[in-house]
Structure 1
Amino acid sequence: MEVIPLNYPLDLIKINTKPKVMALGFFDGVHLGHQKVIKTAIQIGHDQQLPVAVMTFDKYPGIVFRQIEAAQFEYLTTLERKAELLQELGVDIMYVINFTSTVGHLAPQQFVDDYLVALGTQVVVAGFDYTYGQKDTANMLTLPQYAQDRFEIVTIPEQKKFTEKISSSTIRQALNRGDVDRANALLGYVYQTDGIVVHGEARGRTLGYPTANIKTLDTERLPGIGIYATEILVQDHWYPAMTSVGHNVTFGDHRPVTVEVNIFDFHQDIYGETIKLRWNHWLRGEEKFTDADALVAQLTDDEIKSRQYFNLKNKN
């Protein structure tokens, strides 16, 4: 898949402007609703023998419009992860708009002319709630008047699961409360974050449960406080594990949140390694134990349940 940054005004000499199908959206999470848009575009591209492009933004538009501070917004997918998921779906081109205040304040007709028509769009596919400016004037209902019959428009209706709309905000809410099982069902794949292995307090070793302490990206959303059955990618291999997101309250109050991964049947020194974590299944919330023995007993039970989860998953 070709990834093409778009800076305004566009330098069309350096950009792929051949005829194509264009899927529009921010696509944070590339969840099942987004996948419906993209798969529809891919089917149209196949039928019309056209390449398929996705047009997205390099940052959440609300940051530019000061609806939220950049430091407060946590993505479900980084640009790198988004590109990985789009490539897996079969997208040919990923256009990434450098979203500035100038771009954000383009008139709807200007956006359509400069970003859709100029890039060779033959068919636009987007969700029913997609906007490209002020939502009351730049929406899917008004798009035909700006398109002026220069491209076809396909609007994807609201997608639901569990009787609710599939949306990035719904997934964020599920992650906040630790419900990764529901989040994964809405995503259509296992939620994943990135990080690097750093030195911790090494207390796990004394308990018989050594952990890799993970420093995660500030821009990625972590699941809420709790214990999870996870998988960790280390040196191109996925290992089953169990992971704690919490304050280690057994060993004191007012401690910072840490991410600690106990990797099953693994004994390598991996400090400094860049890793990926898959958040497969919620096990329990964080608890404060009376002593280390009680904690070890619970960790033993967590390991048993995690291994049972992965054994069942591997059979299905």
Structure 2
Amino acid sequence: MITIVRDWREVPAPLRGASVALGNFDGVHRGHVEVLAAAHQARPDAPRAVLSFAPHPREFFRPDDPPFRLTLEAERAAALAEQGVSILYELPFDRHFSTLTAEAFIGDVLHRGIGAVHLACGADFAFGHRRGGNVTLLREQAEALGIGLSVVPHLDDAEGPISSTRIRRLLQDGYPERAASLLGRPHVIRGVVAHGDARGRTIGFPTANIALGRHVEPARGVYAVTAALEDGRIVKGVANIGRRPTVADGAIARVEAHLFDFAGDLYGQEIAVSLHHFLRDERKFESFDALRRQIGLDADEARQVLAGIAPDQP
């Protein structure tokens, strides 16, 4: 269970005194896990916490940029909880907060606000107005306040540093397995199931439709997926991500997941769709019959790909 705190000026006493990992934690990938581990190892007696922001500072400063998030707030909190984090200081990033100096961030937010007893961050962590603070300043001022600091180097693999940027690129290029190897789990798109145009149902493949929203858009095409439902079930399926050129060219990109051997009403429920394997590019078919035949082939291939995945594995 993770407790989310959104006001650093009114933190209850039981939620102070934590060992705090700092950063945006978009994706909560293997490199982020190293930072979480460093915070815990330095002060195993203290609660495990993360300090992050909502919205992501890039979304605040560049609102017209294309969506880029690997994990939105709910998915990030869930992923952090899986890593043993019990407190998430999810601070609103607004105009006022963006003007805080680096010194004020350390003294007012980290020390007097949340009462951190130890901090951990990546070697390139920058903070404060115009990113004026770095790990050198953080170490000097935190230690003067009696707060320890662990600076964690980049986690590398054979191809270089593991980063959210690299994971986004892999997803956009159609390599969800390689992205999963850096994340430590499959990439997830979490959202509320909305009503579509019911065309999938008319051709024998009803779908759960989720808007991509602020998620980064993976390569458009068809994927073997699993979906975690609100009741705890994990259901295998096949999903199209894209704009459905056969039926609605120019529509907003979304996920349309057909869940195998499933009957039920998911409208209004939040589900989490995990991408396991990219099957083919999205393309336009000459007829609905041709589309139906191809979806059948896609479903058969997805079943084969997912055969080795345990029923309860997301």
- The TM-score, its normalising length taken from structure 2, stands at 0.87
Amino acid at match of 2:162: I
1:112 aligns with 2:112: no
- How far apart, CA to CA, are the structure 1 residues paired with 2:143 and 2:192? 50
Amino acid at match of 2:152: I
- Deviation, 1:207, is 3.3
- How far apart, CA to CA, are the structure 1 residues paired with 2:26 and 2:157? 18
Q: How does 1:143-182 map to 2 (within 5 A)?
A: 143-149=138-144, 150-182=146-178
- How far apart, CA to CA, are the structure 2 residues paired with 1:246 and 1:19? 45
Name the structure 2 match of 1:98: 92
Name the structure 1 match of 2:133: 138
- How far apart, CA to CA, are the structure 2 residues paired with 1:180 and 1:238? 19
Give the SS at the match of 1:142: helix
Check conservation: 2:200, 2:207, Cα contact below 8 A: no
Of 25, 28, 42, 1:27 maps to 25
- Deviation, 1:230, is 0.8
Name the structure 2 match of 1:262: 258
Going from structure 1 to structure 2, the CA distance change for 1:44 and 1:138 (only over 3 Å counts) comes to same
Amino acid at match of 2:7: L
Amino acid at match of 1:117: H
Give the SS at the match of 1:132: coil
Of 191, 209, 226, 2:221 maps to 226
Give the SS at the match of 2:90: strand
Amino acid at match of 1:6: D
- How far apart, CA to CA, are the structure 2 residues paired with 1:137 and 1:255? 42
Of 111, 121, 126, 1:126 maps to 121
Check conservation: 2:52, 2:88, Cα contact below 8 A: yes
Check conservation: 2:242, 2:253, Cα contact below 8 A: yes
Check conservation: 1:193, 1:222, Cα contact below 8 A: no
Going from structure 1 to structure 2, the CA distance change for 1:120 and 1:250 (only over 3 Å counts) comes to closer
Name the structure 2 match of 1:248: 244
Name the structure 1 match of 2:281: 285
Name the structure 2 match of 1:6: 7
Give the SS at the match of 1:96: strand
Check conservation: 1:42, 1:91, Cα contact below 8 A: no
- How far apart, CA to CA, are the structure 2 residues paired with 1:63 and 1:70? 8
Name the structure 2 match of 1:314: 310
Name the structure 2 match of 1:40: 38
Aligned length: 308
- The TM-score, its normalising length taken from structure 1, stands at 0.86
- Deviation, 1:79, is 1.8
Check conservation: 1:194, 1:216, Cα contact below 8 A: no
Residues 89-124 of structure 1 show CA distances to partners (whole Å, capped at 9, x for unaligned) of: 111221122222222222222211112222332221
Amino acid at match of 2:33: Q
Give the SS at the match of 1:19: coil
Check conservation: 2:208, 2:266, Cα contact below 8 A: no
- Deviation, 1:257, is 3.4
1:86 aligns with 2:87: no
- Deviation, 1:27, is 0.7
- Deviation, 1:153, is 1.5
CA RMSD of aligned residues (A): 2.6
* Between 92-101 and 291-300, the greater mean CA deviation after superposition: 291-300
- Identity between Structure 1 and Structure 2 (%): 30
Amino acid at match of 2:90: V
Check conservation: 2:17, 2:116, Cα contact below 8 A: yes
- Deviation, 1:139, is 0.7
Check conservation: 2:143, 2:149, Cα contact below 8 A: no
Going from structure 1 to structure 2, the CA distance change for 1:247 and 1:73 (only over 3 Å counts) comes to closer
Give the SS at the match of 2:125: coil
- Deviation, 1:166, is 1.4
Check conservation: 1:42, 1:90, Cα contact below 8 A: no
Residues 3-38 of structure 1 show CA distances to partners (whole Å, capped at 9, x for unaligned) of: 21125xx236x4556433111111111111111100
Structure 1 segments unaligned to the other structure (5+ residues): none
Residues 55-111 of structure 1 show CA distances to partners (whole Å, capped at 9, x for unaligned) of: 1112111344x3x11674442222222221111111122112222222222222221
Amino acid at match of 2:274: R
Going from structure 1 to structure 2, the CA distance change for 1:117 and 1:75 (only over 3 Å counts) comes to same
Going from structure 1 to structure 2, the CA distance change for 1:110 and 1:286 (only over 3 Å counts) comes to same
Going from structure 1 to structure 2, the CA distance change for 1:297 and 1:30 (only over 3 Å counts) comes to same
Residues 270-314 of structure 1 show CA distances to partners (whole Å, capped at 9, x for unaligned) of: 344332211121111112334444434432321222111111233
